[in-house]
Amino acid sequence: RAKQEGGHRFVLFDADQERTIREQREALARGLEALRNGEFALYYQPKVDMRAGRVIGAEALIRWLHPELGVLSPAHFLPLFEGSEHAVELGEWVIATALSQLDVWRQADLALELSINISASHFQQDDFATRLAGQLSAHPGVTPSQLQIEVLETTALADLIGACRTMEQCRQFGVSFALDDFGTGYSSLTYLKRLPADVLKIDQSFVRDILRDPEDLAIVAGVIGLAQTFGRTAIAEGVETAEHGCRLLELGCELAQGYGIARPMPAAELPVWTAAWQPPQAWALAPAQHYA
Ligand code: C2E
Ligand code: MG
Ligand code: MG
Ligand code: MG
């Protein structure tokens, strides 16, 4: 059709597409070089128990400490990796870095649970569990139950049988799983019943608006109820204010993460932040949910 509209357009479009592909390949090559040069780092965002006022752990979030552009968030470079054969290399770097960090914190007497994000193409490798076990055995000081793997709800649903198998294999040696961005993937109850995921991580797009959008509030309440029914743990992400926290506590969700608690921070800052953190008073006073 483009050809009928004029040969020029067709040719132009083709050249454009070629250039885009070349640019993406070059960008990936730069990203890969940066990974191998040690320009990537994990930042850590605290996860807290709002009612107990306790820091339970952190989520590791990747950053590119770019020598010219500063701290780049994953949206700028992760998509390049995820579609490529280097997704596994990046993911294994994340696992190795997270385990080393747990070792460092343990030596400083900080026993935290650490969540890491694993991309679909990495998680779907047949030998994912075996390789994870190998990496854990290189860190004998780390208890596998300190490690939690977040996969997108949509990733787990894309290959339910494979996801169940990998999760079961990893849970056998103590690693737990969270379904990230939960609520965005249309999980049916039947799927959830089969998936051995320990945690449902309520997507921040729903959490953000619970104070003014009754439908989002209903979705969040529904996920919390689902977690309770199926014996899973719910955690809310994107908790931006103390008031969001109060509302979540009223709904029966005690665990949270968000800018209202802390932004992701470099590893060295986490022990200091943890020691200094004081929860808002309102959280201890929020009425508790009681279930029959
Ligand atoms: P995610 O796993 O759902 O992580 C939550 C994202 O929301 C993070 O963005 C975090 O910085 C941000 N966030 C946390 N609290 C708040 C809040 O209160 N308000 C708002 N507006 N945002 C908040 P980030 O670090 O840019 O990461 C984006 C996504 O990139 C992550 O979403 C995750 O899917 C992916 N990602 C991050 N690190 C890794 C990694 O090491 N490996 C893989 N495969 N994916 C990663
Ligand atoms: Mg996550
Ligand atoms: Mg998420
Ligand atoms: Mg997300």
Q: Could you report the per-residue pLDDT of 32-45, keeping only the tens digit for each?
A: 999 999 999 999 99
Which ligand lies nearest the alpha carbon of 258?
A: 1
Distance CA 281, CA 34 (A): 44
How high is the pLDDT of residue 17?
84
What percentage of the chain carries pLDDT values higher than 90?
Answer: 84
CA distances from 114 to 59, 87, 161, 208 (A): 6, 21, 26, 24
Is residue 249 predicted with pLDDT exceeding 80?
A: yes
Exposure string over 275-286, b if 16+ CB within 10 A, otherwise e: eeeebbeebeeb
Residue 243 near residue 213, CB atoms below 8 Å: no
Q: What tokens does 62 get?
A: 């990747």
Burial class of residue 39 in the structure, from the number of CB atoms within 10 Å of its CB (0-12 exposed, 13-18 middle, 19+ buried): middle
Distance CA 255, CA 261 (A): 11
Is residue 240 predicted with pLDDT exceeding 90?
A: yes
Is residue 7 predicted with pLDDT exceeding 80?
A: no
For ligand 1, whether the C-beta of 73 sits within 6 Å is: yes
Cα 248 to ligand 4 centre (Å): 19
Distance CA 268, CA 128 (A): 29
Cα 58 to ligand 1 centre (Å): 12
Cα 205 to ligand 4 centre (Å): 9
The two most distant CA atoms of the chain are separated, in Å, by: 72
Is residue 5 predicted with pLDDT exceeding 60?
A: no
For ligand 1, whether the C-beta of 259 sits within 6 Å is: yes
How high is the pLDDT of residue 289?
67
Is residue 83 predicted with pLDDT exceeding 90?
A: no
156: left (phi over 0), alpha (psi -120 to 50) or beta: alpha
| HEC letters along 80-126 | HHHCCCCHHHHHHHHHHHHHHHHHHHHHCCCCCEEEEECCHHHHCCC
Model confidence pLDDT, tens digit, residues 194-212: 999 999 999 999 999 999 9
Model confidence pLDDT, tens digit, residues 46-80: 999 999 999 999 999 999 999 999 999 999 999 99
What percentage of the chain carries pLDDT values higher than 70?
Answer: 94
Give the number of other Cβ atoms within 10 Å of residue 192's Cβ.
20
How high is the pLDDT of residue 9?
55
| ipTM entry | 0.98
Question: What are phi and psi for residue 200, nearest 5 degrees?
Answer: -105, 120
Is residue 239 predicted with pLDDT exceeding 80?
A: yes
Q: Which of 2-11, 165-174, 231-240 has the lowest mean pLDDT?
A: 2-11
